[in-house]
Each structure stands twice: as C-alpha cells, then as structure tokens.
Structure 1
C-alpha cells in the first residue's frame, strides 16, 4: 500500500505543475527560463542525493550508457519546455488533455521502431482516448472555435516527446542506481533546454530572488520529489499498475486549473475526461494481465 501511495502522490504533484506554470507567467516569466532552471536545480538536488547515497562498489558507466541517459534527458527536457509553452497559448486543462495522448503515441513508436504491433484492445482503447480528448478538450465549442492552434500543436509535440522519453527511459541503464540515473537525465534535460533557448535564458530572463523561489518550487515539487517517489514505488508495484495509477494526473491537473486559475470545466468535458481515464486504465489493465500470468 505504501508504494501505491508513493506513485499516486508523484502523479498528483506532476498534475499540479501546468496550473502553477501558467500562474507564473502573470509575473512575466517565460517557459525557457522556467523549464531550464527547474531541470538545472533538479539535477543539482538529485546529484547531491546521488553523492550522499553513493556506494564504493558501484560499477562505472560506459560512454554509451552515459550518452543514452543524456539523450533520454533531452527528451524530457523538450517535453517540459513544449508543454510549458503550450499552456501559454491554451488553457491548462486543454494542454493536459492533449499531453495524455502520449499513451497511444508510445504504442505507435513501439510499433514503428521495435515492430511491436499493438493488440486489438489497444487499438480500441486508442479510439476511445481520441473520442474522450475531443469531448474533454471542448475545442469545437462556440461559433468561432475558441482554441489556439499553436497551443494544440505545442501540446501534441510535447506528447510525442513524452512518449519518446518513456520508450527510451524503459531501455536506458535499467540496472543502474536511480539517483545517478535521474541526475544524468536531468543534466541532459537542462543542457538541451539551454541549447535551444540560450539567447532567451542569458539575456531575456528574470533571475532574481523571487524567480529562484518559483524555480525551486518547480524543481522540488515538479521533478525531484516525483522522481524519487516513482523510483521507489514503480519497481515494487510494477509498470502496469503504475501506469494505471499515474492517470490520476489528468483529473488532478483539471481540478487544479479550476482552483488555481478559475478555469471552468463543463459537465461534457468531465464526461470526456472520464472516457479518457477509463480507456487508459483499461488498456493498461489488459497489458498487465500477461505479467500476472507469468
């Protein structure tokens, strides 16, 4: 039960981030400086954790493993940056709904890259996920369609990079210590965000005491604590159960958007969210059944 609570808490913390990021925009901050500082501070905190908990008999990593972890980090760095950009143009509720498309993007990537053909139940649930997305996103409401195409494209791109991160992370140095693995991933994340936003980060920034408080909040609550909770909980309860539990991120994000940003969620949108959650949970349940039978 303890490990289930850990995974749930990590997903809940992740779900709150989009609302607080959008709230920080009202102070003039931008996605580049927020995502970069979040990743850099998280790398520092996780690095300290890795140093304190280091073991003398830990085997050194090869250059290939180091590179794979840094590249994996670049994917989650792009995810955070694109996702934070999307909430600047769209509502936090719509952005999280579109981000959840990573569930079927990951199936597509597994199929294209590793020739792992999706099952019939997976294809059916993808249809329901897309149906729930249209309803929950409420993107066609009103006579003039009140949504930002740029926000939707950015959220879709973040969904694709998130799916790529999940696929890559599942195959990157699975035998290593989570502390050092997470540190290297965050280093890759920070470096990638800096490389594509160096001008904004160096010259168009708001690095002061107040901003550092915001950045520390995002780094601790949005990265360091969830990473530690997932690292401790997921290996104990399994990836299948964890994937089901982590769908709580969607309703938490929508609820937080209502409480923090006063975003209205209609009954129809709530129905769409329920459809998405049911579809995602069903898909992961059926993916978990073969593991139980082993």
Structure 2
C-alpha cells in the first residue's frame, strides 16, 4: 500500500514540475512546436526501449488486437491534445496559472458523468465544483485590476482541461486489462500522431534538433513516462478516492516551483484559490476514500 501511494506521489510531483521545465525551455528560445515534439518523441523512444527490455511475464497481456491498438492510440490523441493545449497556455500565461486551469477537469468530469449517466450530481459534487470555480477565479487573479493573464492562456488552459477530462474517462474504459507498459506504448503513438498533425508544418520550417538533447529527456520523463507508469501501478491499488487526493499535489508543486525557479509572483489571493481547489478535491474524494476503506 505504501509503495502504491509513493508511486502516485511521484507521478503527481512529476506532472507538477512539468510546467516549470516547459517555461525554462521557452526561455531558452524554443517555441511550443519544438518543445511539444521533443517531449513526445523522446517519451515514445523511452517507452519503446522499456518495452523491448521488459520481461514479459504473461504473453497474453502483451498481445493487442488491431482494434485495441486503435482504441489506445485514439486515447493517446487526447493525451497529445492535453500537452499541446497545456503548453500553449503556459506560453501565453504562467506555469502556476496553467496548472490551475488544467485542474478544471475535476468539475468537467462531474458534468460529463452527469450527462452520461443522466443523473443529477450529488450535493457534495455540486459544492465541490462551485468551490473549485471560485478558487480558480482567485488563483488566476481574474478579480484584480490590471491582471496580466490573457484570454489565450485561459482558453488553451480550459481546452487542456477538456482533453484531460476525455483522457480520464478513457483511462478506465479502454483496454484496461492488458500490460500497462505495452498500453503506454500505443498511447504514446497516438500522442505523437496528434503532435505531428498539428505541429508538422511548423516543425518542417523551424525544427531545431538541439531541443531533443537539451530538454527532450526531462520533459519526456516528467510528462510522458513517469506520470502514466506511476499512476497505472499505484492507482488500482489505493483506489480512486486516495488517488484523487494525492494527484491534487501537482497544483502546489507547480505553483511552488514556478515561484522558486521561474520567479513568478503568486499573491495571497492566488494561494487562497489554490488551497480552496485542493480542499475541494480532497473533500470530493473523501467519501470515495471512506468507501474504499470499508470494503
């Protein structure tokens, strides 16, 4: 149990750090197309190597039908869109604000669940969604005169949250009984395909191969390798409730490193908003955690 919790913590910290490294790569002179491709391409190579070196305990777990490969690859397209929109949000805004916008997938997931099940959300979920929205208003400085956050940063951040909501939905429904490592390989294929389709023309004109060895490895480990592998290993063991609480750590991690490394100014209103969002996520999942413990 403790090992599984540690896995999820590592995944949350990794993704929380990602925004800071994206911003550093931008400050190094690379555009979003180069940064995104370097992350996804390097991540695909690393996962491919892990697949080649891994010991296959159950051969049937490693065999995917053509239909299963396509389904996982389409899920990977959602992951690719998360990266594209999230990185664009950071490009037009800040690392701390973008990670907050990405967490809007929590209330979007509640809305999607309500639509699919045709059931009205519980009072707990409605209250949590309202608190998250209120916390977001504070965390993004929308109420302060002279706020520097632009509509582009907000728009791309919310699009990343939509893609994340779709990805979370697919994660629990698409080929869940096969090898996580093999599944991650096909997922990364779809992710790479999405990046090439959207950024292909730009990469043909301005691709700088130096970005691969300067930033590719760090970005791939933090965004494409550690989070999915750690979550797949830890979440099924500790359950949805505790997983939701632990993954919320990516918000303060992203904000703290944005302050320490990027020197982004995060005021008391923003910290209050971040704490409200984390509190709402914890409160939303506490019922699931209690239910898991009683089973």
CA distance in 2, matches of 1:211, 1:174: 31
* Distance (Å, rounded) in 2 between the aligned partners of 1:71 and 1:113: 20
Consecutive unaligned residues of structure 1, counting only runs of 5 or more, are none
State how far apart, in whole Å, the 2-side matches of 1:63 and 1:132 are.
44
- Alignment match, 1:65: 68
Separation in 2, partners of 1:98, 1:30: 21
Look up the match of 1:106.
Answer: 109
Matched positions, count: 292
Question: Does the 8 A contact of 1:15 with 1:249 survive in 2?
Answer: yes
Residue 117 of structure 1 deviates from its aligned partner by 3.9
How far has the Cα of 1:9 moved from its partner? 1.5
- SS across alignment from 1:254: helix
Match of 2:136 among 115, 133, 136: 133
TM-score, normalised relative to structure 2: 0.94
User: Shift of the alpha carbon at 1:36?
Assistant: 2.1
How far did 1:55 drift?
4.2
**Distance between the aligned counterparts of 2:6 and 2:32, measured in 1?**
30
Q: Counterpart in 1 of 2:193? A: 191
Shift of the 289–56 alpha-carbon distance from structure 1 to 2, 3 Å rule, reads closer
**Contact 1:69-1:172 within 8 A present in 2 as well:** yes
Q: 2:179 aligns with which of 156, 159, 177?
A: 177
CA distance in 1, matches of 2:230, 2:213: 24
Deviations, residues 105-163 of structure 1 (Å, cap 9, x unaligned)? 11112222343542111011100011111111112322x44321111000000011011
Query: Match of 2:261, SS?
Result: helix
Provide the C-alpha distance between the structure 2 equivalents of 1:117 and 1:285, rounded to a whole number of angstroms.
Answer: 20
2:27 aligns with 26
SS in 1 for 2:67: helix
**2:207 corresponds to 1:205:** yes
**Distance (whole Å) between structure 2 residues aligned to residue 87 and residue 73 of structure 1:** 21
Whether the 8 Å contact between 1:20 and 1:260 is mirrored in structure 2 is no
Distance (Å, rounded) in 1 between the aligned partners of 2:237 and 2:288: 17
* Cα distance between partner residues in 1 of 2:180 and 2:284: 27
**Map 1:274-285 → 2, pairs under 5 A:** 274-285=275-286
Q: Quick one: structure 1 residues 134 and 5, their matched pair in 2 at CA, closer, same or farther if it must change by over 3 Å?
A: same
Please report how far the alpha carbon of residue 31 of structure 1 lies from its aligned counterpart in structure 2 after TM superposition: 1.6
Verify the 8 A CA contact 1:40 1:187 in the aligned structure 2.
no
SS of the counterpart of 2:48?
A: helix
Match of 2:169 among 160, 167, 170: 167
DSSP 3-state at the match of 1:139: coil
Instruction: Give the secondary-structure state (helix, strand or coil) at the position aligned to 1:261.
Output: coil
Q: Could you say if the C-alpha distance between residues 205 and 64 of structure 1 is closer, same or farther in structure 2, counting changes exceeding 3 Å?
A: same
Mapped pair 1:233 → 2:234: yes
Deviates more, 1:9-18 or 1:218-227: 218-227
